[in-house]
Amino acid sequence: MPLYEYLCDDCGRFEMMRRVSERDEPALCPECHEQAGRVQTGAQIRRSASASGDDAGSYGFQHRGGCSCCS
The per-residue b/e assignment along 1-20, b for 16 or more CB within 10 angstroms, e otherwise, is: eeebebebeeeeebebebee
Single pTM value for the model: 0.56
pLDDT tens series, the chain, 71 aa: 899 999 999 999 999 999 999 999 999 999 999 999 999 876 555 555 554 445 555 555 555 655 556 44
Residue type, 34: E
The per-residue b/e assignment along 57-71, b for 16 or more CB within 10 angstroms, e otherwise, is: beeeebeeeeeeebe
Taking the C-alpha atoms of residue 16 and residue 45, their distance in angstroms, rounded to an integer, is 26
Q: Contact at 8 Å (CB) between 55 and 71?
A: yes
